[in-house]
Structure 1
Amino acid sequence: MARVTVEDCVLKVPNRFELVLLAGHRARAISAGAPLSVARDNDKNPVVALREIADETVAIRGLRDSLIGTLQHHVERDEPVEDDMPRLMAGQDAAMEGIAVDAYADTMSDLAAELDAALGGDDDDE
């Protein structure tokens, strides 16, 4: 890559990281068969892409939008319908209440056993 080409491109796209992304995207488009807007002059695709950016023969905004479109991934998720939420939450509340009742019963039986042991055990001997 010619230093002059990169320096010319930095005037058009000040952020070097963005320049690399845009030039790479354009070079891939050229490899896929996109028409050239400058003469190839026996240059490879990345150099041609940089020359196109430097000469402003490609729309940088359009190139940027195309790059963003290819990098975005849209994932469809099945989310519960708003009407189902109260029913689902009621089931969750009931489950949590059941857990709390079980924990309370376990704690009470443990306390009763400790109290019984502390008071001397069996009441059947009296």
Structure 2
Amino acid sequence: MARITVEDCVEKVPSRFELVMLAAQRARDVSAGAPLSLDRDNDKNPVVALREIADSTIDLDHLRYEMIHGLRRHVDAPDEPDDLAQELEALMPSRPLESATGDDELPEGMNFGDDDVMEDED
């Protein structure tokens, strides 16, 4: 088993902070079931991640994207409509308003009988 050092990885990722972040992301991916690009050799996931980075067997740009996507807490929402009335018109089909006076006739087959009316029990 070859020993991996940070100096081996810094050649591929110059920033040590970014190296740690990328290795941690890769270790999480491996823990979640991502396929390994190297033999495990009885190493733990963080060591395997560092070995993969040092040997350039994984795509660092894809790993950066996954890392940034995983750390995002705020996702940009689509633009809100400027006018609430326009949004309501788009959601509700336009139809004529019904009269609230009760003068309208009931549709055919509908009627109110005496047993349908609730009475006050005063």
Aligned to 1:51: 51
Distance in 2 of aligned mates of 1:54 and 1:20: 12
Q: Percent of aligned pairs with the same residue? A: 63
Matched, 1:19 2:19: yes
Compute the displacement of 1:75 (Å). Answer: 5.9
Higher Cα radius of gyration: 1
- Is residue 9–residue 53 contact of structure 2 (8 Å, CA) maintained in 1? yes
- C-alpha change, 1:77 and 1:61, in structure 2 (3 Å) is closer
- Size of the aligned set, in residue pairs, is 82
Compute the displacement of 1:39 (Å). Answer: 0.8
Question: Scaled by the length of structure 1, what TM-score is found?
Answer: 0.58
Moved over 3 A (4+): 75-79
- C-alpha change, 1:47 and 1:4, in structure 2 (3 Å) is closer
Which blocks of at least 5 consecutive residues in structure 1 are unaligned?
A: 85-126
Compute the displacement of 1:64 (Å). Answer: 0.4
Deviation larger for 32-41 or 67-76: 67-76
More helix by percentage: 1
Compute the displacement of 1:72 (Å). Answer: 1.4
Compute the displacement of 1:4 (Å). Answer: 4.1
Question: Scaled by the length of structure 2, what TM-score is found?
Answer: 0.59
Which blocks of at least 5 consecutive residues in structure 2 are unaligned?
A: 85-122
